[in-house]
Amino acid sequence: MEIHIAADAEAGARTVADVVEQTLRETGELGTVLGLATGDSPVPAYTELIRRHREEGLSFAGSRAFLLDEYVGLPAGHDQSYHRFIREQLTSHVDIDDAAVLSPDGAAADPVAEAAAYDRRIGEAGGVDLQILGIGSNGHIAFNEPGSSLVSRTRVVALTPRTIEDNSRYFESPDEVPVRALTQGLGTILEARRIVLTASGEGKAAAVARLVEGSVSARWPATILQMHPEVLVVVDEAAASQLELADYYRYARDLEVEHAVAGQRV
């Protein structure tokens, strides 16, 4: 893993945006397959990408995108659907074809079949070049809640009371938060060629400490990312506050900058 403890939210957002920009430039005319997270964490990076598109000509033309998850029972047009969220926060503001921004269909008559079909669609697109992730306070990535199989595929899951509570801020009341979701599995996410996870705030500190320094376990699903060779973790000081080896990560990062070596890992 590469751990980047950013000085502030803007610096963290620029780091995430840099990786997206690099991936878009590297894949060029082949078209990048992006894996997009919703939720608050990646929004500053999305805002920075929109700025680069408008002011610096960064282009998403020819790219495709797959969302991580969707609430079961919410149609695509629903105010709180992730389908809608990603359009409002990123994709409708850049030059990606709207039809190329895919998410699991939360209103599918057969959500189990929809999950399997969505997993297949990702494979048929050639897999994800760059997956952007947030992390839940309970250590979930996408909606792989504690106890998820570490090799799970896209499927229907029950959301934990903690996730429902965490996400109720987007709804009028916790009662309105759907209790099930369609989510890419941990095994599906691990097939992405590169992963960037971003987190901020003290509420994420315990999950971030487990993610980076804990034992790999279904109890903290994000820990499976330790088994992926290309993961960048971008956190602010508050989210980094429970990392035992934070000084080492800062030192390694400074050394990387000083020696201009890209991609130094711990």
CB nearer to ligand F6R: pick between 232 and 260 = 232
3-state secondary structure of 106: coil
Concerning whether 29 is annotated as a catalytic residue, the answer is no
What's 144's DSSP letter? B
Concerning whether 140 is annotated as a catalytic residue, the answer is yes
CB nearer to ligand F6R: pick between 171 and 264 = 171
* Stretch touching ligand F6R by CB under 6 A, among 112-120, 132-140, 150-158, 256-264: 132-140
The answer to whether 224 contacts ligand F6R (rule: CB under 6 A) is no
- Please report, for residues 40, 53, 73, 141, the alpha-carbon distance to residue 13 in angstroms, rounded to integers and kept in the order given: 12, 15, 32, 19
Among 256, 234, 265, 238, residue whose Cα is nearest residue 12:
234
CB nearer to ligand F6R: pick between 239 and 246 = 239
As a whole number of angstroms, the distance between CA 19 and CA 14 comes to 9
* Stretch touching ligand F6R by CB under 6 A, among 10-18, 50-58, 135-143, 236-244: 135-143
Choice from 50, 141, 190, 209 touching ligand F6R (CB under 6 A): 141
As a whole number of angstroms, the distance between CA 35 and CA 222 comes to 16
Which single residue brings its beta carbon nearest to ligand F6R?
Answer: 134
The answer to whether 69 contacts ligand F6R (rule: CB under 6 A) is yes
The answer to whether 81 contacts ligand F6R (rule: CB under 6 A) is no
As a whole number of angstroms, the distance between CA 82 and CA 68 comes to 9
Extract the tokens encoding 53: 């598109």
Concerning whether 69 is annotated as a catalytic residue, the answer is yes
Q: Which residue has the tokens 């840099």?
A: 18
CB nearer to ligand F6R: pick between 126 and 203 = 203
Among 199, 68, 50, residue whose Cα is nearest residue 128:
68
Give least dist CB 139 to ligand F6R, A: 10
Interstrand relation of 64-67 and 33-36 (parallel, antiparallel or unpaired): parallel
Give least dist CB 100 to ligand F6R, A: 18
Catalytic (active-site) positions: 69, 138, 140, 145
- Which positions lie near ligand F6R, rule CB under 6 A? 37-41, 68-69, 82, 134-136, 140-143
